[in-house]
Every structure is written in structure tokens, then in C-alpha cells.
Amino acid sequence: MSPDGPNANSPDANSPNMSGAGDVPTVLVRDGQGRQLLCFLEQLIPLDGHDYALLTPVDTPVCLVRIAEDDDGEDEVIEQLDGAESILSVAEVVLQEHDLTLVRSAVTLTVSGELEEPDPDELEEELDDEGNEDSDLYELLIQFRAEGQDYGLFIPLDPFFVVARIHDGEAVLVEGEEFNRVQPRIEAELDERELADD
């Protein structure tokens, strides 16, 4: 797929402010509220004269989950965090006991600090014991109680990707209609690249 913008082939015209972390460059992404998320640059994809970046967060992404009171209930992922500040404050205190820091980043909450890598064998045993289809998607990082309710911070086990548009040296989070428009095209381009590599 060839870019159609005049500057798309010029390496300096739209390159974001990147800093190297080993061999993988990092990019600071901003969302509409001005929040930031430091990410590794995985792929750069030219579309419609813009450079789109496929990124993965440097810190560990987590999601806030309201844990069901009884075995029959379902845990609920809390998508809207605007009213959850008092709950997140409790989570912060619990994380500090483990030398971890909760960051209200763009796109997702993240946790910075040294996290233990999950043991794949232990994960498999847990899945076998629980027999829960959703349990293979997340790993519990911490569980805590706030406002008379149990909550947990969970780490998604699937890779967590962020799409940003590189504009005037800045990486801007792609959201809403623009995301819906470019996401299938980015996936198609990545599939093509994968086939070309085989």
C-alpha cells in the first residue's frame, strides 16, 4: 500500500518525538483530555497521507473491576472512571504497599513498577481449576475493598494495542469515527506485511 501524502515518504516531516529504549523507539501519546501514555512503537502505517502508529504501552495496562458479591453474580469492568476517583485512591494505597504506582494514563489505567511475570504453568492450572472462559483474558493484580464493595485491578493477558496518528511531531490518540474508519485498513495492512515476511 503506498502513501498518497506529499510528505509521507519524508522521514523527518512527520516523525514523532521518539526516544530509544533499547532497540524499540518510544512515543508519547496524548488523548483529547491531554492525558499522556508512553508507548513502544510497534509499526508505522501510512494511510491517506497520514502516518498511523501501532503502539503498546510501556507500563502495564490494567482495568478496574467490580467483583461480584456472590458466586452467581458477574464481575463488572468499570469503563467510565470519571466517578471512580475515591475507589482508585484506595487502589493507589494498596499498590504502594507493593512498590507500584497507579497512573491515570490516556486510553487506559496503567501500573508502573516491577511486576512479577506470571508463570505460564500456574496460569494453566488456575484455568483448569476455574473452568471459566473469561478467566484466561485477565490476571488479578490486586484485590481491595472500597465503599463496602470488593474491587480488583486486572491485567489483560492479550496484547494491548493503541492506535495513534502522527501529526506535527506529536502522536495523537485515534478515537471514535476515525478509529472505526482506519482500524480495519490497519489490520489489513498488517496482515499483508505478515504474509510478505513469511
128 and 115 together in one domain: yes
Q: What is the pLDDT of residue 122?
A: 52
Whether 9 maps to a domain, the answer reads no
CA distances 116 to 60, 155, 175, Å, are 11, 12, 32
Which range of residues forms the domain containing residue 100?
Answer: 60-156
Whether 13 maps to a domain, the answer reads no
- Rounded distance between C-alpha atoms, residue 189 and residue 150, angstroms: 42
Q: What is the pLDDT of residue 136?
A: 60
Q: What is the pLDDT of residue 82?
A: 82
Low-confidence ranges of the chain (pLDDT < 50): 1-16, 20-21, 123, 126-134
145 and 131 together in one domain: yes
Considering its fold, how many domains does the chain have in total?
Answer: 2
149 and 89 together in one domain: yes
- Rounded distance between C-alpha atoms, residue 2 and residue 171, angstroms: 21
Q: How many CB atoms lie within 10 A of CB 95?
A: 21
Q: How many CB atoms lie within 10 A of CB 154?
A: 21
What is the reported pTM? 0.73
